[in-house]
A and B are shown apart, each in its own frame.
Chain A
Amino acid sequence: MRAGTVQVSENAPALELRNLDVVYTVRGKDRQVLHDVSLTIERGHSYGLVGESGCGKSTAALAIIRYLPRNGSVTSGEILIGARNVVDLSGAELRKLRAEEVGIVYQNPGAALNPGIRVGRQVAEVFTVRGVDKKEASGRALEVLRTVQIADPDSVMERYPHQLSGGMQQRVVIAMALAKDPALLILDEPTTGLDATVEAEVLDLIAKLQSEFQTAVLFISHNLGVIAKMCERVGVLYAGRLVEEGDAETVLRDPRHPYTVGLIRCIPRGGVRKDHGRLDTIPGFLPNLGDDRPGCIFTDRCALAQPVCETDDPPPYEVGSCHTSRCHFHERAIDLPRREAADLELPVVDRRVDPLVRFDELGKVFQQRGHSVHALENVSAAIWPGETLGLVGESGSGKTTLARTLLGLVPPTTGIVEFDGRTLAPRLSNRTREDIRALQIVFQNPDSALNRRHTVRRILRRALKKLARITGAAAETRMNDLMHSVRLAERYVSARPAQLSGGLKQRVAIARAFAGEPRLVVCDEPTSALDVSVQAAILNLLVELQAERGVSYLFISHDLGVVRYLSDRIAVLYLGRLQELGPADVVFDGPHHPYTEALLSAVPTIEGGGRERIRLAGEIPSAANPPSGCVFHTRCPRKLGEVCEQEEPPLVEVEPGHFMRCHIPIEELRRLQQERKDAVPA
């Protein structure tokens, strides 16, 4: 098909990729990143592209608008948007295509907006670039901001991007993408950086606008739950090949490629807990960029692989109606052997003994430009030896501040932290070596947590020297033990962080934290920067280390499935106040605090459907000026009335070991929440 000769037909799909090959030239060598990718998105439909990082998802998105980096090029295949081949477009046509027909939303809205231009002018630019005069453009900008349901659009027009929250910024970007009424909208991980409650709202918005505008959507995400919620069709990308494609519901319910099966299995969900057994992982690693083996690209990680897989590249087999799988043994994919080992002996938590750590009426006030920000208010909780306390809440709820007071990185304003029955010095510099050794942390981002100029050996040896006082030959032995216990091969000792994958880096960080035999390790979102299969392996490792060493964890995560898997008890924070605290199952299964209920219902699951979501109105209020009474009353869907606005409910033990801060009696909550569950259509 040649450009220009084909009439743009109304029935042509919004996007069609035909046998697309994309190559990056790296150091003079061609490395193929997309192999023979074909997919079709009909008008008004949504298509989800999933896969782990490095599989080529974003490359596909960039290729579609011909925005590949300079060393990337489409070597063969066609990209048809409205029946025109994007590959053949001239510069001017391409600009027109980008300006009028394709809208794109990237992961980080902060980077997508120009920090120096007011929001109103930026949105209006979408119109002025197409020749609309300034005044009208500004009017239409206001209109699109209304469409994306931004609160107070008039004032948002006058603000700069940094004055908006992440969720609002993403709404602005979506407004800009939709303003041109595009035929195709590409969403590249649009909600990955957002809180679950905000994510839920943004996803709702996208779904609503999509049906309103009849836009075709290419939705790129690593989150299968989000794809299940948003998309009709799904394509699973692995090492640049579309290994499985089909109806989203069918693929997720009845996956026919071992990679898809593995991907679905390694997500902790459906109430799985660490004492139920370990998570499945996908063994091995993504092949190097441009790996051109003759057979199936997944062979070396596939438990079903047969000799034929080594030699013959599987074609896309039809395995159902509009459902294809590039696997020779697609009928058996679902029988992929599980990789879990024998169950572990987890430490028994005895809560009759004294707790290891006790937070006593902890408060922290930050001074910010004359305002007092109450990051923590009256938080009391305890962690027993060998126990995991999960800490959940939206960003800004004080999770990290609580962890930092425990570690001594910020001194609390009021209250104390007790450790082993002694009061800990508030500042790290006043703590004994023993206390420093006993409390360690695994950070969220392993790139930032490891010094990029130091080798693995140097990082671990230094930790052993400072925390365990081991030097010389003994240190070398201990370092090897340590690497062995985090399943890090010895050949990495002289590697620097840049040479390691994300999962390996996190293993080094975990090894460092365990160098001095800590009693408690703070895990601050340790897997949120990792792919799901890597996440499963890291979670397994944390459980194994707990079983071996009886260490306690303070586990912070916004991923409730992960928290549930690892935690014995859960603490829910909102605006620095403890809202609920109790055994993990009780907090998850309810009756729970209305805030916990909303958090739980916001999470998109693979199973999809299920309960009707609870919308939380608006954004989390500012901690500098928290609402009166119960801090959650401004967003609470179960607000009783004036009592919530005037009186802060006390934290009450509603059931043995289950604490809650709510005016609604527990029996009433139980009844209301049961009603909601029952109301779900079958």
Chain B
Amino acid sequence: MSTALPTPAQPSEVRIARRETLRLLLRSKTFLVGAFIVLFWIFWALFHSGLTPYDPLDQTPDILARPSTTYWFGTDSLGRDVFSRVLAGATSVLEIAPLAMLIGVVGGAIFGLITGYFRGLVDESISRLVDAVLALPLIVIAVTAIVALGTSTATLIIVIGVVFIPIVTRTVRAAVLAERELDYVQAAKLRGERSAYIMFVEILPNVMGPILVEATVRLGYAIFAVAGLTFLGFGVQPPSPDWSLQISQNYTLLAGGSYWWTVLFPAMAIASLVVGVNLIADGLTQVLDR
């Protein structure tokens, strides 16, 4: 038998691989720009009190003042400083969207594993349900549910999260379908493992890549959903400086092109946050699909 064994795999090789992934991420401009934008808003969401030039809820006597050196982004119809409100406006979105995303991803991962692993009747019935849910516009389902359950932050989180479950289910199911065909799944069956063990211990770690990417993508959509629902009056309630609340309160002032600053700056803020999250998602996809 062979006496000479191969050069040992360096024990730290797993760590090297992990470090390599991190290094590639940190070299990806897409990821870095996205991370910068998102971290910027997270910082302001957490620490805005005391750091903004004015209190975001304080009403100054200057009503609907144009952007100037005093009020960089102008003031709104109640005389509140738009710049301060934009900086503070990320708070509720960044509270609701990640939690909603988490519900969607965890739920979707579980259903995706079940449908993908068992196939057959379980798969058929859940998948048809998924198709049915996906056929309806997200906003319609969400509005209906919120009207039925009443408006609160918790309702908002749960409704958006639940609406995301079928979408995530689909992605995870596709990944599981490919994975379940591999021989290690059969090897697990051949030592008498239970289905739950095979799904969560054997398969789940191997589909974490797609789940992670889906999570960032969902986060972007969750921000959208919160903004949309808030704009329609079903989301964050006044007097919060939330961005889409600002837009919904002020968009009537846009008529004739006057007072554009009350809407433009919060809109740009929403856009920048969504773009930032999506850039992170793109960066992750590139590195993880490598």
Interface residues of A (CB under 8 A from B): 27, 281, 283-285, 288, 300-301, 341, 407, 409, 428, 433, 436, 439-441, 443-445, 448-454, 462-463, 466-467, 487, 489, 491-492, 494-496, 498-501, 504, 509, 512, 515-516, 537, 540-541, 544
Contact = CB atoms under 8 A, between A and B. Distances in A.
A341 B14 contact: no
Contact of B206 (A281, A449, A452, A494): A452
Contacts of B17: 498
B192 interface: yes
B202 interface: yes
8 contacts: A283-B3, A285-B6, A449-B184, A453-B206, A462-B191, A466-B193, A487-B2, A499-B13
Contacts of B1: 281, 341, 487, 537, 540-541, 544
B205 interface: yes
Given A453-B206, A487-B1, A441 B190 contact: yes
B29 interface: no
B8 interface: yes
A499 B9 contact: yes
A448 B1 CA distance: 26
Contacts of B187: 441, 443, 449, 509, 512
Contacts, number: 91
A515 B190 CA distance: 12
B255 interface: no
Given A443-B187, A453-B206, A494-B11, A433 B6 contact: no
Given A283-B4, A341-B1, A466-B192, A449 B183 contact: yes
B7 to A, nearest CB: 7
Given A284-B2, A487-B1, A495-B9, A451 B206 contact: yes
Contacts of A500: 9
Contact of B190 (A407, A487, A491): A407
Interface string B258-282: 0000000000000000000000000
Given A451-B206, A494-B11, A436 B191 contact: yes
Contacts of A491: 8-9, 11
B5 interface: yes
A466 B11 CA distance: 27
Nearest to B5: A489
Interface string B140-160: 000000000000000000000
Contacts of B121: none
Given A453-B205, A466-B192, A541-B1, 10 more contacts: A27-B20, A283-B4, A285-B5, A445-B183, A449-B183, A449-B184, A499-B13, A499-B14, A537-B2, A540-B1
Contacts of B202: 451, 454
Contacts of A466: 191-193
A512 B193 CA distance: 14
Central interface residue in A407, A440, A462, A504, by most chain B CB within 10 Å: A462
A537 B187 CA distance: 23
Nearest to A407: B190
Nearest to A433: B192
A467 B6 CA distance: 30
B6 A501 contact: yes
B173 to A, nearest CB: 19
A283 B3 CA distance: 7
Interface of B: 1-9, 11, 13-14, 17, 20, 182-184, 186-187, 189-193, 202, 205-206
Given A441-B187, A449-B183, A288 B7 contact: yes
A489 B4 CA distance: 10
A34 B5 CA distance: 25
A492 B13 CA distance: 12
Contacts of A301: 4
Nearest to B1: A487
A548 to B, nearest CB: 13
Contacts of B11: 491, 494
A346 B20 CA distance: 48
B200 to A, nearest CB: 12
A494 B192 CA distance: 24
Central interface residue in B8, B14, B192, by most chain A CB within 10 Å: B192
B190 A440 contact: yes
Nearest to A509: B187
Contacts of B3: 283
B180 to A, nearest CB: 11
Contacts of B182: 448-449
A54 to B, nearest CB: 12
Contacts of B20: 27
A663 to B, nearest CB: 39
A467 B191 contact: yes
Central interface residue in B9, B191, B206, by most chain A CB within 10 Å: B191
A364 B155 CA distance: 54
A444 B182 CA distance: 11
B199 to A, nearest CB: 13
Contact of A443 (B2, B4, B183, B205): B183
A181 to B, nearest CB: 39
Nearest to B195: A429
B183 A284 contact: no
B131 to A, nearest CB: 23
Closest 10 CB pairs of A and B: A453-B205, A285-B6, A449-B183, A284-B4, A499-B9, A466-B191, A443-B183, A448-B182, A451-B184, A448-B183
Contacts of A450: 184
A27 B205 CA distance: 27
A433 B6 CA distance: 37
A498 B9 CA distance: 10
Nearest to A281: B2
A564 B103 CA distance: 57
A285 B9 contact: no
A283 B13 contact: no
Nearest to A439: B190
A565 to B, nearest CB: 17
Contacts of A433: 192
Nearest to B6: A285
B264 to A, nearest CB: 43
Nearest to B2: A283
A95 to B, nearest CB: 28
Nearest to A544: B1
B13 A495 contact: yes
Contacts of A445: 183
Contact of B7 (A285, A444, A452): A285
Nearest to B206: A453
Contacts of B5: 285, 489
Contacts of A498: 17
A285 B6 CA distance: 6
Contacts of B13: 495, 499
B151 to A, nearest CB: 43
Central interface residue in B1, B9, B187, by most chain A CB within 10 Å: B187
Nearest to A495: B9
Contacts of A544: 1
